[in-house]
Amino acid sequence: MQLRVALGQIAARVGDVDGNLDRVLRAWQRAADAGADLVVFTELTITGYPPEDLLLKREFVEANLAGLERLAAIGPAGTSAVVGYVGAGEGDATDTAHWDVALATRNLTNSAAVLRDGEIVASYDKLRLPNYGVFDEARYFSPRDRPCVADVAGVPVGVTICEDLWTESGPVQAAVAAGARVVASLNASPYHRGKRDDREAWARHHATRGRAHLLYTNLVGGQDEVVFDGDSMIVAPDGEVVARGAQFEEDLVLVDLPAQTSTPATTPPGATRPTLTAHTSPPRSDAVGEIWHALTRAIADYCRHNGFAEAIVGLSGGIDSAVTATLAADALGPDHLLTVAMPTPWSSQHSLADASVLAHNLGTLHHELPIAEPLAAASRQLSDLVVTGFEREDGRQPGTAYENLQARLRGVMLMTLSNERGSIVLTTGNKSEYAVGYSTLYGDMAGGFAPLKDVAKLLVYDLARWRNRRDEVIPASTIDKPPSAELRPDQFDQDSLPSYEVLDDIVAAYVEDDLGIDAIVARGHEEADVRRIVRLIDGAEFKRRQAPPGPKITERAFGRDRRVPITNGWRG
């Protein structure tokens, strides 16, 4: 016989229990209308992922349980659904004496239920609770070591959840050993570049080892510092990926699978169902394009879910603000983006022209608000305390304080516009700058969301070139000119930093790979450069703690992904 399955790749939103129930019911009904026997949803479908300390609120957990009962009661008949939810402590927790983490005292579980014809026919509680990177599941949940296999149209279907897949044997193979010929894997697996290969390798491993079909459904959408890419898949027992979901968009994937039944099929004699068109997997972006789509999805969801209809970006004429503005225009639409150029006395005419051309190309509302007058006023006020002029009788030259004053005045302008318009300011700093502290606290770091926070400088250029292949909106001169903050005469980034080829590799080695100084030097870098950059990275931690959130697109991002003490004496 054939088992008709569906992957319900939905954008479940954290805390939106009623909205998530509606999303499930709409997709479940579509699957039922298409004659599906089974539809598999995402990890913690009802609560969204990760719910974090909402789980400490009893009313939230109870609303999630009531939502599960509602789904079971009103879901369309004839089609089973596997839905993620928070369990409230039925049964005994698995012995965790071998674990090296402290488990939450509350007996909650990260669970999945099989719903069919008005009933909850089976449930599964996640065994492997990730507690690294952006994950804190051992803070909230208790594990269970009980495989779950449910009968769906006569086919034994196992149920597992996300991290259960990322191990040589474990829960997936336990489900197979318990008789499963199809294994449903509910996931909330955050995106980072290159992750698809790892996911697919584990899915192929379990499908071929267990000689079972694996149904991998992943969440889609932005959630604070993480973005979920969907990219769900069905893997056959021979390891072939026979169907894929869309990237960064909701999708319902429908496929007929050959499946050997363990019990007689429950389809009534003579019953028919719609003919299913052969599945065609959607096109997939290249390596740089998927990062662009991850960032635009993150911006769109962060703004929409937090009540911002408009974003504001300060345009300097440089590459970072150009890419940030273009991302925002793609994410929100140009009618929902305000761009502002705020030239100082040291801003070049070509930078002003580049900012104007970009705004015109994008079709944004654009203003030019020079800060020369407020800068002069602040300089006069501070003249006895801070060196603020380049033509002084004593010959002293302005330093970082004067440069940062300009950045902070820009921040004041943008945040005032934000207050007036109810808009969100998107900051423009990239990962290279955040790493070494070359971004101004309360200046260009002032804002609500930082789209490039996990994007190294060289990758910013790659993103600009990728986007211009669609239509050339970012001026070529913005891409080609040497990067400069333009906060003093004849200033360039490389006056005080190594080349970005050197800097980005050291940052990646120290931040993403956790290598020490000797190991980074062994990659071919000068020891003096390495020690200086490492010192800058460590010294800027207090600034990063005050930075706005930004989407994770690498294996190790600043923020909740990397938790380094601000105050510490380690130097290497």
Long-range CB contacts (within 8 A, 24+) of 105-108? 106/55, 106/56, 106/140, 107/142, 108/55, 108/61, 108/140, 108/141, 108/142
Q: Tell me, what CATH number does 243's domain have? A: 3.60.110.10
- What is the token pair recorded at 549? 């959130």
Are 319 and 191 found together in one domain? no
Are 292 and 238 found together in one domain? no
Q: Which of 337, 332, 397 is nearest to 367 (CA)?
A: 337
Marked catalytic residue, from 137, 148, 162, 403: 162
Strand pairing of 109-116 and 119-125? antiparallel
Q: Which of 234, 238, 109 is nearest to 184 (CA)?
A: 234
pLDDT-derived band at 236, boundaries 50, 70, 90:
very high
Q: Report DSSP letters for 303-323, one per residue.
A: HHHTT-S-EEEEE-SSHHHHH
CA distance linking residue 77 with residue 79, whole number of Å: 6
Confirm whether 303 is a catalytic residue: no
pLDDT for residue 296 = 98
Q: Are 208 and 238 in contact (CB under 8 A)?
A: yes
pLDDT for residue 102 = 39
Are 153 and 59 found together in one domain? yes
pLDDT in tens, 465-516: 999 999 999 999 999 987 765 555 565 666 678 999 999 999 999 999 999 9
Percent of the chain with pLDDT over 70: 91
Q: How many CB atoms lie within 10 A of CB 258?
A: 11
In which domain, by residue range, is 323 found? 288-494+540-544
pLDDT in tens, 525-560: 999 999 999 999 999 999 999 999 999 999 999 998
Q: Does 527 fall in a domain?
A: no
Are 19 and 87 found together in one domain? yes
Q: Tell me, what CATH number does 455's domain have? A: 3.40.50.620
State how many domains the chain has. 2
Are 254 and 299 found together in one domain? no
CA-based torsion, 28, 29, 31, 35: positive or negative = positive
- What is the token pair recorded at 300? 């769109």
pLDDT for residue 568 = 87
Are 316 and 192 found together in one domain? no
Are 148 and 250 found together in one domain? yes
Q: How many CB atoms lie within 10 A of CB 564?
A: 13
Longest dimension (CA), the chain: 100
Are 263 and 363 found together in one domain? no
Q: Which of 474, 473, 491 is nearest to 482 (CA)?
A: 491
Q: Does 193 fall in a domain?
A: yes
CA distance to 374, 375, 392, 403, per residue, from 397 (Å): 20, 16, 8, 11
Are 254 and 313 found together in one domain? no
CA distance linking residue 564 with residue 35, whole number of Å: 51
pLDDT at 124 over 60: yes
Q: Which of 116, 140, 113, 135 is nearest to 45 (CA)?
A: 113
For residue 50, cis peptide bond before it (omega within 30 degrees of 0): yes
Phi, psi of 353 (to 5 degrees): -65, -40
CA distance linking residue 319 with residue 452, whole number of Å: 11
pLDDT for residue 107 = 86
Confirm whether 501 is a catalytic residue: no
pLDDT at 265 over 80: no
Percent of the chain with pLDDT over 90: 81
Are 297 and 215 found together in one domain? no
Q: Does 563 fall in a domain?
A: no
Strand pairing of 241-244 and 251-258? unpaired
pTM of the model: 0.92
- What is the token pair recorded at 151? 């009968």
Q: Are 54 and 47 in contact (CB under 8 A)?
A: yes
Confirm whether 126 is a catalytic residue: yes
Q: Does 8 fall in a domain?
A: yes
Q: Are 203 and 231 in contact (CB under 8 A)?
A: no
- The whole-number average pLDDT for the span 198-203 is 96
Phi, psi of 539 (to 5 degrees): -70, -20
- What is the token pair recorded at 483? 């990067």
pLDDT for residue 92 = 52
Q: How many CB atoms lie within 10 A of CB 359?
A: 26
Strand pairing of 155-161 and 226-229? unpaired
Q: What is the mean pLDDT of the chain?
A: 91
pLDDT for residue 104 = 47
Q: Report DSSP letters for 65-86, one per residue.
A: HHHHHHHHHHSPTT-EEEEEEE
Give the burial string for 538-550 (b: 16+ CB within 10 Å, else e). Answer: bebbebbeebbbb
Q: Does 339 fall in a domain?
A: yes
pLDDT-derived band at 395, boundaries 50, 70, 90:
low
Are 379 and 424 found together in one domain? yes
pLDDT at 270 over 60: no
Are 343 and 431 found together in one domain? yes
